[in-house]
């Protein structure tokens, strides 16, 4: 790995700022270990922002410095590795690789798309719906994009639309916007959302099961789905009424061939797993256990060969997530959380008391900071650790705070902000859609997300989940 001038500058700033905070005499309510933890955390955030080291390397370094310098016990510094969220992620990563490996996602997507009208509006609706429906079965947004982008380009060309034209852009945005907003509703639709679960307290995790989470998120997702569909279907509609040549989808199905044994087994495994998630309270099977059973089945039937499990799963991301999510136990352990609530809580009560100010503030904070911290999970792990205690002190449900932040964390105003966006735009090949036309839509996406959040407030109030 080469160290550019920029990386060296960030490294120097991280060391100076981190050591400087660590050596500051602790104010009342804090100890020397508290300042050391805050200094280490600040240094890690700067390293993440500058991309000095791989994300996982920075996260491991942070956790080890917590242990060695601040004397945080290892079972606190690395607490997430023994929690249910980490093992749910292990299973989700493996299942995502298995579903992609056997071709099940592409086949299901094609079969569903054939059910929708062959007009432009019909395909906009179909691509949005298919992406949303299939979201829970594969946690990697990038993996979904690598499958759906070429398929969507094929649909666009089969309908006779010009590459880099507005119609092609609209079809791309139909599936990509759904890729961005569907993880807010489904815990297993995104590694980021699954990691967010681990940032909540055990009580919140127990309360918001996969089904409960989806039901509480439904008002926002419905508004997002409808808002994006209406805008895209009107703004990018073609002048002519071209119809999809269904032979394209038929040809793609023909190329996939008959259902393979592995696809059938994987389909049955996922149906059983989803049923176990839905009937968790009746059957008493934890979600992570059901997912791990499914992973064992995928490995046992060689749907995911063991060699590909080793090579196709982002183990570095799992390590990074485990270290980052552990911040939720480290900060309370050194007294930072209690001090923050006592020192800052009285000044933030007005912010949390006004729901529309809170929603707008969280949205703006997320959008602005994501220009600096490129990691979605890195951003959420740091800011939830500080904001959740303040929300609880003000009587606001921390689930709402995390949900709003997660709704805006996917921004792609500039291509460098999102590796998922870069995967989506480039996996279909050059010359289909342009970065300029597709990044502009992020402004529309955020506006719809903000409006959906404002309206959802009334639904969340009626459901009794806004306050605690």
| pLDDT tens per residue across span 71-98 | 999 999 999 898 888 898 888 888 888 8
pLDDT in tens, 295-331: 999 999 999 999 988 887 888 888 988 998 899 899 9
What does the pLDDT read at residue 277? 86
What does the pLDDT read at residue 344? 85
Give mean pLDDT, residues 349-360: 93
**Torsion angles phi and psi, residue 396, rounded to 5:** -95, 140
pLDDT range class, residue 147, cuts 50, 70, 90: confident
The proportion of the chain whose per-residue pLDDT surpasses 70, expressed as a percent, equals 100
What does the pLDDT read at residue 200? 92
Give mean pLDDT, residues 387-396: 94
Q: How far apart are CA 368 and CA 394, in angstroms?
A: 24
Give mean pLDDT, residues 166-183: 94
Q: How far apart are CA 466 and CA 468, in angstroms?
A: 7
pLDDT range class, residue 124, cuts 50, 70, 90: very high
pLDDT range class, residue 438, cuts 50, 70, 90: very high
Give mean pLDDT, residues 195-203: 90
Residue 10 scores a pLDDT above 90: yes
Q: Which residue has the higher pLDDT, 89 or 399?
A: 399
What does the pLDDT read at residue 82? 87
Q: Which of 66-70, 142-146, 339-343 is predicted most confidently?
A: 66-70
What does the pLDDT read at residue 433? 93
Residue 241 scores a pLDDT above 80: no
Q: Is the pTM for the entire model greater than 0.75? A: yes
Give mean pLDDT, residues 114-135: 92
From residue 143, give the alpha-carbon distance in Å to each of 89, 97, 100.
15, 8, 8
Residue 132 scores a pLDDT above 90: yes
pLDDT range class, residue 1, cuts 50, 70, 90: low
Q: How far apart are CA 322 and CA 316, in angstroms?
A: 10
pLDDT in tens, 216-235: 999 999 999 999 999 999 99
**If we measure between CA atoms, which residue out of 120, 381, 80, 350 comes closest to residue 233?**
120
pLDDT range class, residue 428, cuts 50, 70, 90: confident
Residue 213 scores a pLDDT above 90: yes
pLDDT range class, residue 40, cuts 50, 70, 90: very high
Q: Taking all residues of the chain, what is their mean pLDDT, rounded to a whole number?
A: 91
What does the pLDDT read at residue 93? 84
Give mean pLDDT, residues 121-128: 94
Find where tokens 């419905």 sit.
Answer: 222
């Amino acid at each position: 790995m080469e160290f550019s001038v920029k990386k060296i500058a960030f490294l120097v700033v991280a060391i100076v700022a981190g050591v400087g905070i660590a050596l500051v005499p602790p104010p009342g309510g804090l100890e020397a270990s508290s300042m050391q933890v805050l200094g280490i955390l600040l240094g890690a955030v700067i390293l993440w922002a500058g991309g000095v080291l791989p994300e996982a390397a920075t996260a491991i370094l942070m956790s080890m410095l917590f242990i060695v310098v601040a004397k945080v016990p290892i079972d606190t510094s690395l607490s997430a590795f023994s929690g249910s969220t980490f093992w749910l992620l292990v299973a989700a990563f493996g299942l995502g690789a298995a579903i992609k490996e056997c071709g099940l996602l592409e086949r299901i997507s094609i079969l569903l798309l054939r059910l929708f009208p062959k007009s432009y509006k019909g395909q906009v609706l179909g691509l949005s719906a298919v992406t949303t429906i299939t979201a829970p079965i594969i946690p990697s947004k990038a993996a979904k994009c690598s499958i759906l982008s070429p398929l969507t380009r094929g649909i666009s060309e089969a309908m006779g639309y010009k590459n880099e034209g507005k119609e092609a852009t609209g079809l791309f945005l139909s599936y990509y916007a759904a890729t961005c907003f569907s993880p807010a509703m489904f815990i297993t639709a995104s590694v980021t959302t699954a990691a967010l679960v681990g940032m909540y307290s055990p009580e919140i995790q127990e309360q918001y099961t996969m089904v409960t989470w989806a039901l509480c998120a439904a008002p926002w997702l419905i508004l997002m789905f409808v808002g994006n569909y209406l805008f895209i279907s009107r703004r990018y509609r073609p002048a002519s009424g071209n119809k999809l040549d269904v032979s394209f989808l038929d040809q793609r199905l023909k190329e996939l061939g008959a259902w393979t044994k592995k696809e059938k087994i994987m389909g049955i495994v996922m149906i059983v797993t989803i049923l176990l998630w839905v009937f968790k309270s009746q059957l008493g099977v934890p979600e992570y256990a059901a997912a791990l059973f499914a992973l064992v089945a995928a490995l046992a039937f060689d749907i995911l060969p063991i060699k590909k499990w080793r090579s196709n799963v982002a183990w570095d991301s799992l390590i990074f997530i485990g270290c980052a999510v552990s911040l939720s136990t480290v900060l309370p352990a050194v007294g930072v959380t209690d001090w923050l609530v006592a020192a800052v809580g009285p000044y933030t009560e007005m912010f949390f008391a006004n729901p529309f100010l809170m929603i707008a503030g969280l949205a703006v904070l997320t959008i602005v900071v994501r220009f600096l911290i490129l990691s979605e999970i890195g951003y959420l792990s740091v800011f939830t650790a500080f904001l959740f205690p303040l929300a609880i002190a003000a009587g606001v449900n921390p689930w709402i705070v995390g949900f709003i932040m997660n709704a805006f964390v996917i921004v792609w105003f500039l291509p460098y902000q999102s590796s998922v966006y870069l995967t989506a735009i480039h996996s279909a090949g050059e010359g289909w859609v342009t970065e300029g036309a597709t990044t502009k839509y992020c402004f529309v996406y955020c506006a719809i997300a903000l409006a959906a959040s404002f309206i959802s407030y009334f639904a969340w109030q009626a459901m009794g989940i806004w306050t605690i």
